[in-house]
Amino acid sequence: MAAEVTEANLSKVDSAIDDAPASPSESKPRHRRTSSTVSGVFNILDLGKSVNGKLTVTSEKEGVDLKIAPETQKLNWKLNTSPSTVDDKEVLSKLLTTPPIKKIDLQFPLGLEVTARNLKGVTIKDALDAIHKQFKKKADDELDKPYLAGFEWDREECYTRFIVHQKATGEAPASSGKKKKGKKDEEA
């Protein structure tokens, strides 16, 4: 009788007795939490067409066209300064591409490549943050072309990468059209 009681007690406490399946193949597939995925945001690899393991796009119908936000060409942003220094702060929250994507590689002309990521869709700020991370320790005189001119997408060369264009000088901030009154204007 004591042996029966001991077995019953052990089965309740024994960690070796488990309802888990014996092998991983018998277990149920685990699903990603829905809070970490957003509907309507794509992986760029899913937008193109894969042929023989390589992502290629041979015609307009097979791959989705990405449209880069035109605001990126008007930012007048210096690569080694924080993205928060951009004049128009509202632009930073806009999506970098249409349709929204989870990540994009940004390639510079000399071969440097950075990746901007955001599971809710890469924004202009995400792209600027990725670029700034590489250039924040560079002095102004170390950069030949310190200003962002915009991004280019060449679907034939590489579907999953944007080319970063730079320029040597930034434009002067656009005036609001109102003339400020100086002391001479006030006296007259």
Nearest CA to 101 among 152, 44, 161, 37? Answer: 44
List the chain domain ranges: 37-167
> 115 - beta bridge partners?
105
Helices (H), 67-161: 89-92, 124-135
Checking if the pLDDT of 135 tops 80, the result is yes
96-133 pLDDT, tens per residue? 999 999 999 999 988 899 999 999 999 999 999 999 99
pLDDT of 157 reads: 86
Rounded average pLDDT over 133-152: 92
Nearest CA to 112 among 92, 133, 93? Answer: 133
